[in-house]
């Protein structure tokens, strides 16, 4: 579909970091690696040498003796300790550039616009660090964000990390119950909060929400209110916690030098959360060293992120892609932060932003690309995007037709990198590559240093066959554990229960003849009619090609001692699920997938439940359809939508 952006033999020094890395490895390790495939094999066969080389090549600032141990092997996979004798500070690495080059650009749907240079960013972080120190914040304390995707949020995270405090954030569209489910477990000392935010033209104020958080979080000492961009917040929230305004928190001495706590490689940096649709969200703890090293590898080598790049990712502060995006500061690139709806005030708003700010790398979700196509967004015809060279997609599998849309309607000469990993590893297992061609419907490669395979039911590696996505050996960015899980029992159950001493990620996947990867959906929602395993993405790909269908969700319903497929569709305004459309849906699935993929039942619904991170909640639909309770509806952005799926164990349909 698209040729590689760079050639290993002809790329000039500095043009492609991955080419330079291969040449450097060949020289320093006295090997002859002549392809990406050869480099990947070498990286998993020589893990310790590779990760040390990656740390050096990507210019990480680390304190360690020359003979410091790279890997201390544990009795089990999850007990391996990477770089146990190394010390570093995540914020120091992200603030290594301190010049007038633009670091951050903020925009929202109200046309508010702010920008900050690297020098200005360093100063803002320094000022806020002084205030945090005055509050008694120290290494290991938790700092929370009820936060919009704004410059102040980045500053707050970096100031926290500079002291070794642990950052954890939710976006302001989370409900009170969902936030308390998360933050009560980690007991934050300080909360950074937006008093209001705007989405799809509607300004939402948060005084009542913040008062409930102050009441529900007894550990909270101080709430710092970020500037109110919309003039709608009203009075400050009232409670036992002290309320401080942002401008007072950054009113310190501008001549004070910042200090960076030198902390172990495994020191906690971020606490992320599982979706929480089957119970209280798990608190996933990510280390400073593992996060930084993995992000540097992905951005510097796989993405070829350069100082003159303008990197944009459409994300909220409740999704791991925000944390991934912010790590781009370590490359000295310009990051674009957007807060608001991707379709307001017009459906082209994100591409308007890309054209206006000179975005070179555009990141989004597969769902956004599908919705943009349905909305008739055709930036190739309407926008001038000469600098745009790469488009990233994640969040759910990008269909082959999604690849077609990008190359036909966005840009013909773009590098399309579909990527997949997750909150669990705050990064990717499989992703893109500037040295490999793009094949329609496929993710290009496994990440360097990641020993990724597909296992069949017997636990054997297979190729060109669907199975479980696994990683056979440990890697630096695996979580250090779950919060309040001292014996790692929940951790083991989450990733190591399926295959002994092998990380099972929970994705249903296939490695292709090209060496690429296809993700068919989550393993726990794989359909199994007649004993045949079907990934839900295989159905969605066919259904959502039809112009009347906005989105769909398929689940397996227990029926007559077997499982039958039930498909729910949300349609374009004015469309109705009549017999003709039902026939068209079934024919599309039959011809594009197989007769076994065809649903037994198709129903129209007005809305489909999704998690607070925007992913379709297939498990919640399945449980509701069977008349079983959804344990934690606070984890859903739109729990009222479950009423469309209520059954009584199967008799409804």
- Tell me the pLDDT tens digit for each residue of 97-117: 999 999 999 999 999 999 999
CB atoms closer than 10 angstroms to residue 84: 14
Q: Check residue 309 and give its pLDDT.
A: 98
pLDDT tens-digit profile of 354-366? 999 999 999 999 9
Pairing of strands 361-365, 310-313: parallel
Query: What does DSSP assign to residue 597?
Result: G
Q: Is residue 11 part of a domain?
A: no
pLDDT tens-digit profile of 267-324? 999 999 988 766 789 999 999 999 999 999 999 999 999 999 999 999 999 999 999 9
Q: Check residue 651 and give its pLDDT.
A: 47
Contact in structure between 263 and 269 (CB atoms under 8 Å): no
Q: What is the CATH number of the domain that holds 631?
A: 3.30.300.30
Task: For residue 552, give both structure tokens.
Answer: 């769909």
What's the CA gap between 164 and 139, in Å, rounded? 4
pLDDT tens-digit profile of 449-480? 999 999 999 999 999 999 999 999 999 999 99
Number of domains in the chain: 2
Please name the residues in contact with 438: beta carbons below 8 A apart, sequence gap of 6 or more. 1, 2, 403, 415, 416, 417, 444
Q: How confident is the model at residue 633 (pLDDT cuts 50, 70, 90)?
A: confident
Structural element, H or E, at residue 56: helix 47-57
Which one, of 14, 46, 17, lies nearest residue 30 by Cα? 46
User: How far is CA 242 from each of CA 100, 191, 220, 225, 310, rounded to the nearest angstrom?
Assistant: 35, 10, 9, 11, 38
411 has a pLDDT exceeding 50: yes
The percentage of residues in the chain with a pLDDT greater than 90, rounded to a whole number, is 90
Q: Is residue 140 part of a domain?
A: no
Which one, of 247, 516, 574, lies nearest residue 397 by Cα? 516
Q: Check residue 648 and give its pLDDT.
A: 47
Average pLDDT for the chain? 95
| Exposed / middle / buried, residue 519 (Cβ in 10 Å: 0-12, 13-18, 19+) | buried
Q: Please say which residue of 56, 73, 88 terminates a domain.
A: 88
The percentage of residues in the chain with a pLDDT greater than 70, rounded to a whole number, is 99
What's the CA gap between 278 and 527, in Å, rounded? 18
Q: Is residue 584 part of a domain?
A: yes
Q: Is residue 291 part of a domain?
A: no
Contact in structure between 534 and 556 (CB atoms under 8 Å): no
Q: Is residue 65 part of a domain?
A: yes
Q: Please say which residue of 88, 116, 131 terminates a domain.
A: 88
User: How far is CA 636 from each of CA 179, 609, 616, 640, rounded to the nearest angstrom?
Assistant: 11, 7, 9, 9
Q: Please say which residue of 37, 64, 88 terminates a domain.
A: 88
652 has a pLDDT exceeding 80: no
Contact in structure between 92 and 61 (CB atoms under 8 Å): yes
pLDDT tens-digit profile of 52-80? 999 999 999 999 999 999 999 999 999 99
Q: Is residue 77 part of a domain?
A: yes
Q: 161-170, 276-285, 396-405, 462-471: lowest mean pLDDT where? A: 276-285
Residue 208 sits at φ, ψ, to 5 deg, of -65, -40
579 has a pLDDT exceeding 50: yes
Torsion of the alpha carbons at 615, 620, 622 and 626, rounded to the nearest 10: -170
649 has a pLDDT exceeding 50: no
Q: Check residue 277 and give its pLDDT.
A: 64
Residues 522-531 have a mean pLDDT of 88
Task: For residue 67, give both structure tokens.
Answer: 């003979």
What's the CA gap between 550 and 605, in Å, rounded? 11
Q: Residue 609 is part of which domain span?
A: 526-645
Q: Is residue 606 part of a domain?
A: yes
Residues 363-371 have a mean pLDDT of 94
Which one, of 142, 244, 239, lies nearest residue 186 by Cα? 142
Q: How confident is the model at residue 431 (pLDDT cuts 50, 70, 90)?
A: very high
Q: Is residue 622 part of a domain?
A: yes
Q: Check residue 279 and give its pLDDT.
A: 73
């Amino acid at each position: 579909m698209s040729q590689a952006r760079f050639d290993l033999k002809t790329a000039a020094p500095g043009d492609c970091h991955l080419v330079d890395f291969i040449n450097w490895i060949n020289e320093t390790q006295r090997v002859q690696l002549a392809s990406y495939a050869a480099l990947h094999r070498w990286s998993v066969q020589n893990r310790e040498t590779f990760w040390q080389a990656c740390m050096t090549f990507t210019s990480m600032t680390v304190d360690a003796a020359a003979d410091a141990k790279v890997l201390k092997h544990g009795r089990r996979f999850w007990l391996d300790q990477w770089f146990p004798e190394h010390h570093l500070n995540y914020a120091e690495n992200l603030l290594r550039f301190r010049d007038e080059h633009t670091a951050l650009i903020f925009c929202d749907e109200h046309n508010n616009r702010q920008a900050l240079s690297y020098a200005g960013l360093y100063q803002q972080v320094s000022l806020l660090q002084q205030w945090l120190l005055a509050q008694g914040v120290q290494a290991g304390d938790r700092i929370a964000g009820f936060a919009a995707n704004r410059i102040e949020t980045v500053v707050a995270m970096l100031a926290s990390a500079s002291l070794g405090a642990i950052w954890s954030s939710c976006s302001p569209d989370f409900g009170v119950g969902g936030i308390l489910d998360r933050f009560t477990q980690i007991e934050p000392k300080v909360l950074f909060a937006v008093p209001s935010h705007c989405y799809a033209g509607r300004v939402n104020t948060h005084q009542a929400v913040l008062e409930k958080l102050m009441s529900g979080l007894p550990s909270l000492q101080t709430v710092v209110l970020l500037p109110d961009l919309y003039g709608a917040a009203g009075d400050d929230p009232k409670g036992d916690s002290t309320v401080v305004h942002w401008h007072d928190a950054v009113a310190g001495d501008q001549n004070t030098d910042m200090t960076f706590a030198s902390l172990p490689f495994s020191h906690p940096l971020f606490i992320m959360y599982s979706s929480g649709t089957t119970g209280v969200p798990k608190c996933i703890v990510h280390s400073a060293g593992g996060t930084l090293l993995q992000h540097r590898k992905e951005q510097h080598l796989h993405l070829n992120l350069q100082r003159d790049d303008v990197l944009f990712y459409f994300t909220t502060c409740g999704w791991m892609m925000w944390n991934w995006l912010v790590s781009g500061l370590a490359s000295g690139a310009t990051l674009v932060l957007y807060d608001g709806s991707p379709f307001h005030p017009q459906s082209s708003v994100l591409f308007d932003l890309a054209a206006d700010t000179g975005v070179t790398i555009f990141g989004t979700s597969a769902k956004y690309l599908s919705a943009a196509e349905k909305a008739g967004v055709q930036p190739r015809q309407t926008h001038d995007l000469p600098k745009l060279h790469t488009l990233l997609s994640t969040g759910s599998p990008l269909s082959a037709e999604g690849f077609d849309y990008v190359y036909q309607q966005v840009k013909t000469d773009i590098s399309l990198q579909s990527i997949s990993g997750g909150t669990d590893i705050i990064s990717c297992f499989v992703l893109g590559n500037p040295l490999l061609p793009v094949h329609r419907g496929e993710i290009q490669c496994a990440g360097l240093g990641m020993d990724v395979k597909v296992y069949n039911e017997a636990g054997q590696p297979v190729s060109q066959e669907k199975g479980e996505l696994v990683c056979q050996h440990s890697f630096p960015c695996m979580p250090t554990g779950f919060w309040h899980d001292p014996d790692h029992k929940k951790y083991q159950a989450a990733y190591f229960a399926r295959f002994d001493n092998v990380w099972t990620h929970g994705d249903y996947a296939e490695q292709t003849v090209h060496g690429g990867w296809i993700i068919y959906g989550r393993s726990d929602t794989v359909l199994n009619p007649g004993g045949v395993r079907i990934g839900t993405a295989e159905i969605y790909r066919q259904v959502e090609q039809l112009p009347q269908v906005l989105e769909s969700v398929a689940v397996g319903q227990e029926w007559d001692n077997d499982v039958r497929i039930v498909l729910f569709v949300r349609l374009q305004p004015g469309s109705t699920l009549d017999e003709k459309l039902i026939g068209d849906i079934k024919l599309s699935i039959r011809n594009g997938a197989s007769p076994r993929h065809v649903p037994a039942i198709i129903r129209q619904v007005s809305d489909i439940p999704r998690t607070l991170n925007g992913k379709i909640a297939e498990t919640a639909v399945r449980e509701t359809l069977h008349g079983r309770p959804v344990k934690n509806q606070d984890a859903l952005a739109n729990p009222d939508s479950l009423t469309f799926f209520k059954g009584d164990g199967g008799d409804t349909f």
